[in-house]
Amino acid sequence: MRTPALTSPADPVPVAVRGGARRRRRVLAAAAAAALLAGCGAVRVDTPPALPASPDAAEVARQDEAVMAATIEQTVLQVTADDAGAGVLQQVRAHAEAHTDALGGVWVAWPEGAPEDVATPEVSTAAPTTEPTAADVLALLVAGAGSAREAALTADDDTVAAAMLAISLSRSADAADLAAATGAEAPASSAAPLTPEALLARGADGPTVLILDSARFALETVAARSDGAARERATARAAYLQELVDAALAAGAPDPREGAYDLSVGEVGRDAAGPAPGDGASGDGATGDGASGAGDGASGASDGGSAAAADPSLTAEQAVAVAAEERLLRHWTFSLGLVGPHEREALVAAAEDASQQVRAWGGRLPALPGIG
């Protein structure tokens, strides 16, 4: 009996988290402008210049990460790298530029100069040294991934939390790629699959059961069509996802599961109905054990599309596995808004785990994984 054709479920819970930080920055900028204008007209000449409103915690986090993104970009511009690292640095720069744009840029109270006798803190986005190297970029990426992760855990605003997680995931992936390209030690990771206990703490609902079960089905199909390490990895992942489904249903979650799911992934799946196992499909292409195409620069950095649909170099099996893990990544990111800051650690670690699974299958993360 032939295994199901590799065909791609639409995400039952589409997630798009954009613009909140940018709007917040614009509101603050508008407030500052209004304050300055208030000093004109029917106000005494000796009235002290109005000062910008004090930023709240969300704006402080946004500004800090915008400064970090701009600093990474400026540092990369000054680095001369060999062929092995040049492509990765191009990717890092593209992602940093996308992060700066997504965050609304670095806010400056008076871009053309503060009023006389008004002291403002200097905002520097200069490279950390006069002659920066790839090692300096790597250090910034590791530090930036950590600070954005902490902001995701502590932000009161759900949109800010999701954006910070996306930036942390992107910087972590870039750091791993740059370390591999330069022979540096791989950065430590806090990624961990979501446990059944953490799933129940998040809340077991029908959409979650559907996403978990569709991913389980996808990985079981990939396992059936693969050999060796790829088969083992897909089988183990499918069994793990089945454990989560069982835990959710045992806790009383609705059961919207389907008998089979459409797994097509656009153009990448054009050969998905090819030979079944035993008909000549070796499945060796599904054994990707790292980030594929790290040196391809800004490819897919800002379009936010599926890595599976955007990368024609993936085999049908890889594309299906990547698409399944992307759906999990988006769902865990979305789920940050369902729990309090003190309960986000497990979901953040699960999103990190899903992002690593995407890369392990040969997929490439966009600039804003999970929300882009």
Q: In the prediction, which pLDDT does 111 show? A: 66
Residue 218 CB coordination number (10 Å): 30
Query: CATH assignment of 20-182, given 1.20.1260, 3.40.50, 1.10.220, 1.10.3470?
Result: 1.20.1260
Q: In the prediction, which pLDDT does 270 show? A: 33
> Are the CB atoms for 71 and 125 separated by under 8 Å?
yes
> Are the CB atoms for 111 and 36 separated by under 8 Å?
no
Q: In the prediction, which pLDDT does 10 show? A: 40
Q: Is 48 exposed, middle or buried (0-12, 13-18, 19+ CB in 10 A)?
A: exposed
> If you search the block for the tokens 């744009």, which residue do you land on?
101
Query: Distance from CA of residue 162 to its chain's centroid?
Result: 9
Backbone angles phi, psi at 145, to 5 degrees: -65, -40
- The pTM of this model reads 0.77
Q: How far apart are CA 209 and CA 258, in angstroms?
A: 10
Q: Which tokens go with 263?
A: 């797994």
Those residues of the chain that have pLDDT short of 70 are 1-53, 83-84, 110-115, 117-120, 266-310
Helices (H), the chain: 20-37, 57-77, 83-102, 134-154, 158-182, 196-202, 206-224, 228-250, 307-310, 316-334, 345-360
Q: Which tokens go with 310?
A: 């955007």
Is CATH 3.40.50 what the domain over 196-360 is classified as, yes or no? no
Domains 20-182 and 196-360 share a fold: yes
The alpha-carbon radius of gyration of the chain (Å, integer) is 23
Closest CA to 79 of 138, 26, 28: 138
> Helices 158-182 and 134-154 meet at what angle, rounded to 10?
160
Q: Where are the domains of the chain?
A: 20-182, 196-360
Q: Tell me the per-residue pLDDT of 306-348, one tens digit each, with 9 for 90 and over.
A: 666 557 889 999 999 999 999 999 999 999 999 988 889 999 9
